[in-house]
């Protein structure tokens, strides 16, 4: 089974109310055995769901459903969008068109918990030891921002874009283009975007988002 099956298994249990705030999830080893996944793959799924604010983890104790999980789960699409095949150029074009456009909803709807999750994604990306780990938290930041719109369709579209970012062609292009210096620049740009959102400054947030995306496009395609 793929990691997506584990993710949907957890989400389905949360949606159905089988797991509620404070409930403990099965141990990583049990999930690894059940879904035939490596422990690392299980941890990556749990990191993703923790970044969305659905679960929290306590060292030596386990993984638990958060108090705010019920509110968060209502913002997520009930059906996981199907993966798509698209070129990096098409994906970049879509991101530049869509990402700045949804920020008005974020400025209007985002909560303190959303901003905390955005800050965590920035911190985790800055602490990442590998490009793959950085990409994970980079993508999750954009997904958390989308979730702050409180619009399940928007959240589904952004998750679909994240799936497209996981394609081999995009990953190879990103690995060739990202230097340590560029990664630091991206991190600073992420911080500027989050700060503008926290200030509920729509004009600055849109400007920061567009500048970041145009920067990524230049680095990826050279124009």
Where are the domains positioned within the chain? 3-73, 88-221
pTM of the model: 0.69
Angle at 77 between CA 74 and CA 80, to 5 degrees: 140
Q: What is the pLDDT of residues 65-112, one digit of tens each?
A: 999 888 888 777 655 555 557 888 999 999 999 999 999 999 999 999
CA 134 – CA 124 distance, rounded (Å): 8
The fold of the 88-221 domain, in CATH, is: 1.20.120
Angle at 142 between CA 137 and CA 43, to 5 degrees: 35
Q: Are 47 and 141 in contact (CB under 8 A)?
A: no
CA 158 – CA 152 distance, rounded (Å): 10
The fold of the 3-73 domain, in CATH, is: Arc Repressor Mutant, subunit A (1.10.10)
- Rounded mean pLDDT of the chain? 87
Compare 168 and 27 and report the one with higher pLDDT. 27
* Helix or strand (DSSP H, E) at 58: strand 55-58
The pLDDT assigned to 173 comes to: 82
Q: 131-135, 143-147, 218-222: which range is least confident on average?
A: 131-135
pLDDT value at 178 more than 80: yes
Comparing CA positions, the residue from 130, 120, 115, 106 lying closest to residue 194 is 115
User: 3-73 and 88-221: same fold?
Assistant: no
* Helix or strand (DSSP H, E) at 65: strand 62-65
CA 66 – CA 72 distance, rounded (Å): 10
């Amino acid at each position: 089974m793929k990691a997506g099956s584990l993710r949907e298994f957890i989400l389905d249990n949360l949606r159905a109310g089988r797991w509620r705030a404070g409930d403990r999830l099965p141990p990583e080893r049990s999930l690894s055995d059940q879904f035939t996944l490596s422990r690392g793959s299980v941890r990556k799924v749990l990191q993703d769901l923790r970044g969305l604010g659905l679960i929290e983890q306590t060292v030596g104790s386990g993984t638990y459903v958060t108090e705010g999980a019920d509110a968060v789960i209502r913002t997520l699409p009930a059906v996981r969008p199907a993966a798509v095949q698209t070129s990096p150029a098409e994906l970049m074009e879509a991101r530049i068109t869509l990402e700045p456009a949804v920020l008005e909803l974020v400025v209007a709807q985002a909560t303190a918990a959303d901003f905390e999750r955005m800050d965590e994604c920035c911190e985790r990306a800055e602490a990442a030891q590998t490009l793959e780990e950085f990409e994970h938290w980079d993508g999750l930041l954009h997904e958390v921002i989308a979730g702050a719109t409180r619009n399940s369709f928007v959240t589904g579209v952004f998750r679909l874009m994240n799936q497209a970012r996981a394609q081999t062609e995009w990953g190879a292009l990103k690995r060739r283009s990202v230097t340590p210096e560029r990664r630091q620049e991206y991190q600073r740009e992420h911080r500027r975007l989050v700060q503008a959102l926290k200030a509920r400054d729509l004009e600055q947030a849109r400007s920061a988002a567009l500048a970041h995306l145009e920067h990524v496009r230049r680095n990826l395609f050279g124009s």
